[in-house]
Amino acid sequence: MASPESVTDPLTEEDNLSKELANLEKQFAEKKVQQKEYELLSKQLTERIQRVESQAYLLAGKDESIARRLRLRNYNDPAVQQITSQFLKTGGQPLQPDFGADRIPRYRVLDTILVEQETLQKMRDIGMVTGTLYERIVSCPTCGAPSNVYQHFKCPQCNSIDITINRMFEHLQCGTIHPENLFRVGQNLICPTCKKMLQKTDEYRMIGIVCSCKNCNSHFGDPAQSYYCRRCKSEFGLASAQVVDVFSYSMSKAILSEARQFIGVNALTTLLTENGYVVKTPGTITGPSKEVVFSLIAQKDARSIAVDVAQSDTEVGVEPVLDMFVKVLEASPTVAILATIPSLSKQAREVADMHKIVVSVGATPIELAAKVLEIVKSA
Ligand SMILES: [Zn+2]
Ligand SMILES: [Zn+2]
Ligand SMILES: [Zn+2]
């Protein structure tokens, strides 16, 4: 069924629904809505928000503009910021999982924080990180966890797990074949037929395994295999197991530079909000021919202050200055500031002066935020 929802852009839809929800909460707080009605409506709205959000994440794989808008929203999320900081620190190097005692993969960022794969998968859906298959883990189909799953090797006749698995060795010199345990004498391997001690690994070879069942005494080459979850006390085969792919993740150069622009925005948002500005991150101004996106737009008394944040490992170059120039021409905000961390190249400074772009430089996001506020107040 084609609903109007699928026609509307899911992110705009999500914003509208969130506003509706906030409005409902306000009405309930003012006792204009009954408890029962409030609960029902807020549940419905929350479900619709979740639905359009997952719709947006699905579309992101095919539609780069939705992916980018989702990324910009995500740079405001504390967990995403921590993960992004980790990649900025390592230049996007692969982040590999740690498997705890519960065998659930987690990713260590900034030395102490453990992140679940789910968060990184959502970042992958919107093109923030790329994943490379690292490991596959078998999870129980009942409880969904890998923590208590054991692999069982069983007798194909009676299903007992009480089987002996013997490697078969061939002594190459005399050609006889025996189970490994008949060769073992303490630390040594001695051929049971010719009584020669085997000293080098090229004197014998492993030719396969032979199993015997202690329960029914049958012998067989390949044991039957299954999985068993001790928590659920249920046995399952590969066909019904949940096989979960575990990835290592990296961040591309393009995303690293996109992220640099938006990190540090939070410090600015906090400070400007404290000073009575209404801040939108990212902020959009609709110009005569298109929408222009800045790191943030702060508004107060009908003035619009557009700020772009540019970060670099060393110094910010010319490119963000030129970007800012083009955007200001289109959007014409009251004040436009290019905020840079940790420094600005000499050439970039010259280009900024030439194009009359206001530039602010801070060694840290907090220092930068204070400097931007000074400019905003005096402009
Ligand atoms: Zn289970
Ligand atoms: Zn021998
Ligand atoms: Zn058996």
Q: What's the pLDDT band for 1 if we cut at 50, 70, 90?
A: very low
Q: Do 216 and 283 belong together in one domain?
A: no
Nearest bound ligand to CA 212?
3
Smallest-distance ligand from the CA of 154: 3
pLDDT digits (tens, 9 = 90+) for 56-65: 999 999 999 9
Average pLDDT on 178-184 reads 91
Ligand closest to Cα of 203 equals 2
Residues 6+ apart with CB under 8 A from 121: 131, 247
Structural domain contains residue 104: no
Which residues lie at CB < 5 A from ion ligand 3?
155, 157-158, 160, 213, 215-216
Q: What is the pLDDT of residues 336-372, one digit of tens each?
A: 999 998 889 999 999 999 988 999 998 777 788 899 9
**pLDDT tens-digit readout, 246-305:** 999 999 888 987 887 777 787 789 899 999 999 998 899 999 999 999 999 999 998 999
- Are residues 56 and 160 both part of a single domain? no
Question: How much distance in Å is there from the Cα of 191 to the middle of ligand 2?
Answer: 5
Give the ligand whose atoms come closest to the C-alpha of residue 161.
3
| CA 214 to centroid of ligand 2, rounded, Å | 28
Question: Which ligand sits nearest to residue 219's alpha carbon?
Answer: 3
272 and 369 co-located in one domain: yes
Ligand 2 centroid, distance to 189 Cα (angstroms): 11
170 Cα–ligand 2 center, Å: 8
In sign, the C-alpha dihedral spanning 185, 188, 194, 196 is negative
Nearest ligand atom owner, CA of 148:
1
CA–centroid distance, 222 to ligand 2, in Å, is: 26
Q: What is the mean pLDDT of the chain?
A: 91
The ligand whose atoms approach the alpha carbon of 229 most closely is 1
Question: Are 272 and 346 part of one and the same domain?
Answer: yes
Pairing of strands 335-341, 303-311: parallel
Task: Tell whether 138 is covered by a domain.
Answer: no
Question: Residue 107 region, left (φ>0) first, then alpha (ψ -120 to 50), else beta?
Answer: beta
Task: Report the domain count for the chain.
Answer: 3
Asked if 193 and 185 touch (Cβ cutoff 8 Å), the reply is: no
Backbone angles phi, psi at 88, to 5 degrees: -65, -35
- Residues that place a CB less than 5 A from ion ligand 1: 140, 142-143, 229, 231-232
Q: Residue 68: in which H helix or E strand, if any?
A: helix 64-74
**Residue 92 within any structural domain of the chain:** no
354: domain range?
Answer: 264-378
Q: Which ligand has the nearest atom to the CA of 228?
A: 1
- Name the least confident of 28-42, 66-80, 234-248: 66-80
pLDDT of residue 259: 82
User: Does one domain contain both 196 and 282?
Assistant: no
pLDDT of 134 reads 97
Q: Is residue 129 part of a domain?
A: no
Q: pLDDT tens across 147-166, in order?
A: 999 999 999 999 999 999 98
